[in-house]
Chains A and B, each alone.
Chain A
């Protein structure tokens, strides 16, 4: 199975900050990577697919980059609604696998 490792596990930031979350795959997954946002008691919500494509309706302050084994989710200008947990997921090979999550907290 492809292991997905996110860092950091927890990130403290303030409204207006620019933050980045890293996701590393245990083997190359090309650009078959998605990023999801999850709030307590809710299902994950797609933000970015194919490593860098912004899902329709998602604010442009979210961006993704990377290929192969290293990927980054960047949020430019944090808004109060952005404080949540973020997961990366590879869909290059079965079984699809997720990272363990990064919790973005208010500083």
Chain B
């Protein structure tokens, strides 16, 4: 069965970077884009961008363009999201999600979420 297993919770200081991983299993990793979505406490989800695991190509939301880097290691079917220059308002649950396909890219499977807390 399809699974996206994310790395654990992180506590970071303002100005630091965080790297969250998303291990995919149960399907062909290179076929489906991986998206990253974050959700601050009590807020709706916020889309950050996607990575094409086949080519490594990326598309970032303009809001995060200068601070986010999405990568992948296809040999271990894992995607990564690194966010730099962290601020207190980056405190959120970070999810990876798979899109169903390029023609109808809704999110059909999600990871369990990785809590990132930014605090001095």
Contacts and interface: CB of A to CB of B under 8 A. Distances in A.
Contacts of A97: 47
A44 B105 CA distance: 15
B15 interface: no
A45 B110 CA distance: 8
B59 interface: yes
Interface in B36-92: 43-47, 59, 61-63
Interface residues of B, number: 22
* A contacts with B: majority SS: loop
Contacts, number: 47
Nearest to A46: B108
Interface residues of A, number: 20
A99 B44 CA distance: 7
A49 B100 contact: yes
Interface string B76-120: 000000000000000000010100100011111011110000000
B44 to A, nearest CB: 5
Interface of B: 35, 43-47, 59, 61-63, 95, 97, 100, 104-108, 110-113
Contacts of A101: 44
A98 B44 contact: yes
Contacts of B105: 91
B46 A55 contact: no
A44 B110 contact: yes
Contacts of B112: 43
A13 to B, nearest CB: 21
